[in-house]
Amino acid sequence: MKLYNTLSRQVEEFIPHEEGKVNFYTCGPTVYHYAHIGNMRNYVGHDVLDKTLRYLGYEVTRCMNITDVGHLTSDSDSGEDKMSVASKRENKSAMEIAKFYTDAFFEDFAKINCKKPEIVSPATSNIDMYIKMIEKLIKEEYAYISGGNVYFDISKLDDYYVLTNHQEDQMVVGAREGVEEDSNKKNQADFALWFTTSKFENHELLWDSPWGKGYPGWHIECSGISIKYLGEYLDIHGGGVDNIFPHHTNEIAQSEAYLGHKWCNYWFHNEHLLDESGKMSKSKGDILTVSVLEESGYDPLAFRFMCLGSHYRRQLVFSYDALKQAQSTLNKLRNRISKIETTGEIDKEKFEVYNNKFKEELENDLNTSNALTVLYEVLKDNELNGSTKLELIKNFDKVFSIELIKEKEVDSSLEEYINEKIKERSEAKKNKDYTLADSIRDELAAKGIKLIDTKDGTTYEI
């Protein structure tokens, strides 16, 4: 598989540390507010990568954090903790805020058919890990204590700006938007690992540490959680393009200083979804979420379909016109597929030809729009029988996840009838009346209902 790697700034052959296995980390949401559809586009990109890797046969272990402490209003350690801001805004405790917005996040996540990572861990559950890391970083002089806080000293590294190709070191840190000068820092790009002092009083979430009562910085969370759950060698780390600097730059610095070796080989970044006025953000009044789209009558999967139509490394502009268009195309597609009859045996040779084409498009840095073109080719191919078409579509949808084949609903009276027959048949078998048992099975088979006997009882397929 070929994947664009932000670290090398080129499309590269993907080679995991251990053959056939992938450790994959995704930066999760900061749960101080709803995640808008721009955030969700990023998670669709990660979900497509996750499902593509599985489709290609890799064994994937994916981990995601939930930031419920330490992310300040500026990504560069200035301002107030976002959780505290939300607590004041909604007059709730930080943990109540975290619970509410974590649930809301996963609700929207499920609506767009994103698969929950195997490991999801809140930042507040791993404080011991951050303390262990920071202690080692101080001992090895990568970190220092100043004005009560612990900072990472970026001058101790040869290549702090490796991920940004040194574009950031040209900038005067104090001049960047939202960045305040911090007189405690030796270098202005140094970043906080642990806070014990803050100009904002009454920080709710505090833990004991060797440096005093305080709370972790945002960046150490992802390094700590990733190393704790996925080990010292990470295959893929992903996030939105806005995470490249400073968040991922800082993650590399502290993780590699802590481990003493290279940490992650591939950095995967999704481009922004813009609204018509520019960058989508939470600060411009109403937050446009997947649930809001659904309440307005749109299928959340039309939003996912819209994302699949564009490459993850291209900016995408959201408009209701574009969403309406996506909804109508998706409806037509599903309608067309619903008319395909299961005819003939699956043609294995033709199945492989199209399946390989589909895989090739995804293996080419996740070219989802070309993969959709393969789907249309399958639909148009008159030589292909219905069974082969449906089998291909069913498989493609493991990655697309847009419910191309709607399961036919079983009506309840039919269900009742089948269950009654299953009961009669097991009764007959118990009485050793195999003729009756077989005739019940045949009666159902004639109606297209296949019985399946398992050690836990009998189930059926229509």
Residues lying near Zn ion in the complex (CB under 5 A): 27, 222
Q: Which is nearer to Zn ion, 27 or 340 (CB)?
A: 27
Tokens at 13, concatenated = 């052959």
Q: How far apart are CA 375 and CA 362, in angstroms?
A: 13
CA distance 61 to 22: 6
Q: Minimal distance in Å, beta carbon 252 to Zn ion?
A: 11
Is 31 within 8 Å of 120 (Cβ atoms)?
no
Torsion sign, CA atoms 1, 57, 25, 311:
positive
Distance CA 307, CA 262 (A): 33
- Minimum Å gap between C-beta 222 and Zn ion is 3
Residue 184's nearest CA partner among 150, 225, 138 is: 150
Residue 228 Cβ, how far from Zn ion at the closest point, in Å?
Answer: 14
Specify the residue, 252 or 323, whose C-beta has the smaller distance to Zn ion. Answer: 252
Of 16 and 246, which has the nearer Cβ to Zn ion?
246
Looking at the Cβ atoms of 27 and 236, the one nearer to Zn ion is 27
Least Å from the CB of residue 251 to Zn ion: 6
Least separation, in Å, of the C-beta of 66 and Zn ion? 11
Q: How far is the CB of 292 from Zn ion (least distance, A)?
A: 26
| The one-letter amino acid at 56 | L
* Closest to Zn ion by CB, 27 or 316: 27
Q: What angle do CA 210, 215, 219 make, to 5 degrees?
A: 110
Q: Coil, strand or helix: which one is 65? A: strand
- Which is closer to Zn ion, CB of 79 or CB of 300? 79
- Give DSSP secondary structure letters for 122-179: EGGG-HHHHHHHHHHHHHTTSEEEETTEEEE-GGGSS-TTGGGTTSGGGS-GGGSTTP
How many Å apart are CA 65 and CA 121, to the nearest integer? 5
Minimum separation from the CB atom of position 204 to Zn ion (A): 22
8-state DSSP, 381: -
CB-wise, 242 or 275, nearer to Zn ion? 242
